[in-house]
Structure 1
Amino acid sequence: MNKIFDNIEIALALKSDSELNRAHFLFKMINKGPLVKIGAAVTKFALNANLPVEKIIRYTVFNHFCGGVNEDDCLKVIDKMYTKKMHAVLDYSVEGKKEEKQFDFAVQKTINALEYAKNHNAIPFVVFKPTGLGRFEIYQKLTEGNSLNKSEQAEWKTIKERFHTVCKKAYDNNIPVLIDAEESWMQGAADDLIEEMMMTYNKKRALVFNTLQAYRWDRLDYLKNLHQRAKAKNFKIGMKLVRGAYMEKERERAFKNEYKDPICADKNATDLLYNDSLKYIIDNLNDIELFAGTHNEKSSYLLINLLKQNTILKDDKRVWYGQLYGMSDHISYNLSDKGYNVAKYLPFGPVKDVMPYLIRRAEENTSVAGQTSRELSIIKSERKRRKSKNRSIK
């Protein structure tokens, strides 16, 4: 197979020289793990103390990884990406809120995003986190098999109503909604609730998507069991497939609380489970629609081959690739250039409120071997190519 991801000119065509220089600076900083931890602590302190750093953050890390502070802000980025057949997944990325009014506000932001998506072909999906619509502790209690008290039962009922509000809007607008996965000790309740949404809204096609984290060794079995229930109860499955984002936290908690580590033994085992899950979904594409969230080149090539082997069109709307905005452009834009369905996760929200998400992104980059070095290498190659081209023009 031709190494289509090697075309750096296509990958970074939309980046101006100044944006390329900013990306080079950011990934150099991220490449130094201790700096990320220090920077995260300093940033949190500065924002909490209302020090005048928001503008600096906005024009550096925020603008590289986010679409803007609101939906209107994002449209310029979305329209620009769409010139290269790149789609966007609107992601209201405010994390860690715990008040009812904030959960209701997150519902409204997701509804607004679904309205934007209905009117923009460039936005094929919208996304939300389970804990964006309700308290983490409620999901955790249910996952651990503990009873809810009377007020918690009322809270859970409200969470279910919020899910229905969003999923019904997705159904009415015919725009799929991706529901992110979170920590294992709350995910069981989220899985059950999402399955309930699938049973209600996925009768004809997948409009509600759960997320399968392949770094959990039990997830392929979960998918197979869900598939059997879906066939028995006559509903479609939507599945976003990722490797996972909470590995260190998961391992530490398992060790501290002396229960079996839910994470695969090593990266090879995670890669194998991810790729086996890809194969299972493609083998059952009439029942399961796929959003393959991956920055991994081998898994991306595997999906290309699976589509070919199964004579599935590269633009079949049941299969999407997805990457984060500001990362892995060599995968995203080369795939879209070849006619595959590709979407970038496009976070948005107030700078201060989105910082926990951005800090997590930076920390993940330092923990994934080779991720930041690869980004830096691509950026350096494109800067060198542009300088050489400019010299030849002169």
Structure 2
Amino acid sequence: LLHQWLILQACRIPYLPNLLGPLLRVSHALHLDPITHWVLSQTAFSHFCGGRTPQDTLPLMNTLASHGVFTILDLGIETDPAEETSTEMGEDRADMVANGIIQAIRTAKDQPETMVALKVSALTSLPDHLVRWSDGLREARRRFHSLATHPAPSKDQAASPLDITSSILNSHRRISKLCDEAAAASPSSPSVPLLMDAEYSSVQPAIRHLTLLLSQTYNALGPQPLVYDTLQMYLREGPLVLTESAEDAMRDNRPYAVKLVRGAYVARERRDAEAEGRPDRVWASKALTDAAYDGASSWLLSRSADTPGSTHTVLATHNARSIAQSLDAASSVSSAAPSPYMAYAQLLGMGELVTARLRQRGARVGKYVVYGEVSDLVPYMVRRVEENAEGVQGGGD
């Protein structure tokens, strides 16, 4: 407890969260990564992460389960579309990530209610191809009638359509393999829901399109959805994407499954918008983001109440006000608690009071348990400190 308290106090030191990223970059330039990673393993890693492998997280998962909290396993490896790598190296890395997620799925099958999260960019050989595909999808939405003769705006470097298509098809193959593994069920080994994590807005159209394809296949197999979309409500397009996605599911006669978040990349999104000379895709203020999130939460709750089983929602937030509003609204439309169609989630090491209050109210609640090697989880740990400092106090987003 003292160790956790000290880490939380460090997160509240003025300017330290904003300095952490630059300090780590200086450390890397000075070839001090082994020392830095050891320090992180004893501090941020031990607090915000569950272990290096899915098996390492089992004691924690059992402890959470004993308190009525389910686990969402998340291999925290991230890839940046701006990073350069060869196709061969990228394919090997993506295959390694896929194998790591398969281990998480197999671990989850032995733990009731456990979910598994994944990042499409980490399963793509060249994440920049997701950017290019997303550019094309945006262009297609604006000018679908002339897409063939008007190339989508993208990077200066050339990338052939064949390369991009091959990369995306390989991503789809990997994720389909994960879905097959997660869907395989028996009386003693249930299926494992997969949460498709949201990433930078530059790749979101591609991720959303892949999620749609997978949902059309795997969420039509039965009443319980396998594939969950993730919507970032700090994006201006969030409310429109939500209604369009739900309508797509209704037309396909399949349940709509979604994890709702505010978003964790505000600083990066604003920098990218300025660098590219385009309008910011993020709402101009936190108040507008809060309104979008709470409005989406209310809309999903009403939809679920009107047609039980049509909508399965995970509200991923540390914001106590948003959660209280959701719980009060749920109580007003249904006396049944907890709803099998609504769950809440917080990050390990954050929002502990919020999680406890949810359990007291009888809600279904889970913890995001990130695992992986310390060196792979540095971006995740930095972001937890930089952008969620309020959350560790129990009232953030």
Short-chain TM bin: 0.7 to 0.9
- Structure 2 counterpart of 1:179, from 196, 215, 222: 196
Residue 88 of structure 1 is matched in structure 2 by: 71
Higher relative contact order (CA 8 A, sep 6+): 1
| 2:60 matched residue in structure 1 | 77
Shift of 1:210: 0.8
Once structures 1 and 2 are overlaid, which stretch shifts more, 258-267 or 142-151?
142-151
**What is the SS of the residue equivalent to 1:159?**
helix
- Give the AA of the match of 2:108: A
Shift of 1:51: 3.6
If the length of structure 1 is used for normalisation, what is the TM-score?
0.84
Identify the range of structure 1 (80-89 vs 30-39) with the bigger mean alpha-carbon deviation.
30-39
Unaligned runs of 5+ in 1: 1-15, 378-394
Q: Secondary structure at the match of 1:347?
A: strand
1:188 aligns with 2:188: no
Q: What amino acid does structure 2 have at the position aligned with 1:351?
A: V
Instruction: Give runs of aligned pairs for residues 78-157 of structure 1, distance below 5 A.
Output: 78-96=61-79, 99-121=90-112, 123-134=113-124, 135-145=126-136, 146=152, 148-157=160-169
Where is the helix percentage greater, Structure 1 or Structure 2?
Answer: 1
DSSP-derived class of the 2:379 partner: helix
Q: Could you list the runs of 5+ residues in structure 2 that have no partner in the other structure?
A: 137-151, 153-158, 186-190
CA distance in 1, matches of 2:295, 2:208: 20
TM-score, scaled relative to structure 2: 0.83
Task: Describe the superposition over 1:172-230 as per-residue Cα deviations: whole angstroms up to 9, x where unpaired.
Answer: 24211001111112111111110111110111222100111000111111111122221
Counterpart-to-counterpart distance in 2, 1:365 and 1:192:
28
Alignment RMSD: 2.2
Amino acid at match of 2:179: C
Q: Secondary structure at the match of 1:322?
A: strand
- Displacement of 1:233 in angstroms is 1.5
Post-superposition shift, 1:300?
Answer: 0.3
Change in CA separation of 1:73 and 1:270 when aligned onto 2, cut-off 3 Å: same
Give the conservation status (yes or no) of the 8 Å contact 2:320–2:395: no
Deviations 1:34-87 (A, max 9, x none): 5434443355456x5444343332121110000011112111111122221122
2:184 maps to a residue whose letter is D
Contact 2:345–2:366 (Cα < 8 Å) also in 1: yes
Paired residue for 1:281, among 291, 294, 300?
Answer: 300
TM-aligned CA deviation for residue 133 of structure 1 = 0.6
Give the direction of change, closer, same or farther, for the CA distance of 1:43–1:86 in structure 2 (3 Å limit). Answer: farther
Pick closer, same or farther for the CA change 1:176–1:376 going to 2, 3 Å.
closer
